[in-house]
Structure 1
Amino acid sequence: MRISLAITVTLCLWLGGCQRHVTKYAHTAPDESLINTYWQLLTLNDEPVVAADNVREAHIVMHIDSARLAGSTGCNTLSGRYQHTGQQLTFHPIATTKMACPTAQMRSEQAMLIALKQTRRWNINGSLLELTNARGEPLAVLKAVHLY
Structure 2
Amino acid sequence: MRISLTITATLCLWLSGCQSHAAQHAHTAPDESLTNTYWKLLTVNDNPVVATNNVREAHVVLHIDSTRLAGSTGCNTLSGRYQHTGQQLTFHPIATTKMACPTAQMRSEQAMLSALQHTKRWEISGSRLELTNAHGEPLAVLEAVHLY
Q: Same fold (TM over 0.5)?
A: yes
Match of 1:23 among 20, 27, 30: 20
Aligned AA (2:33): S
Tell me: CA distance 1:82–1:21, structure 2 relative to 1, closer, same or farther (3 Å).
same
Q: How many residues align?
A: 141
- 1:119 maps to 119
3-state SS, counterpart of residue 55 of structure 1: coil
- 1:98 maps to 98
- 1:49 maps to 49
Distance 2:147 2:107 in 1: 27
What percent identity do the matched residue pairs reach?
A: 76
- 1:70 maps to 70
How far apart are residue 17 of structure 1 and its match? 4.5
Distance 2:16 2:112 in 1: 44
Moved more, 26-35 or 97-106: 26-35
Q: TM-score, normalised by structure 1?
A: 0.88
Task: List, as ranges, runs of 4+ consecutive aligned residues in structure 1 with deviation greater than 4 Å.
Answer: 16-19
Indicate the RMSD between aligned Cα atoms, in angstroms.
2.0
1:22-61 deviation per Cα after TM superposition (whole angstroms, max 9, x unaligned): 2211312110000000000000011110000010000000
1:47-90 deviation per Cα after TM superposition (whole angstroms, max 9, x unaligned): 11000001000000000111000000000000000000000000
For structure 1, the residue ranges without an aligned partner over 5 or more in a row are 1-5
For structure 2, the residue ranges without an aligned partner over 5 or more in a row are none
1:122-142 deviation per Cα after TM superposition (whole angstroms, max 9, x unaligned): 000010000000000000000
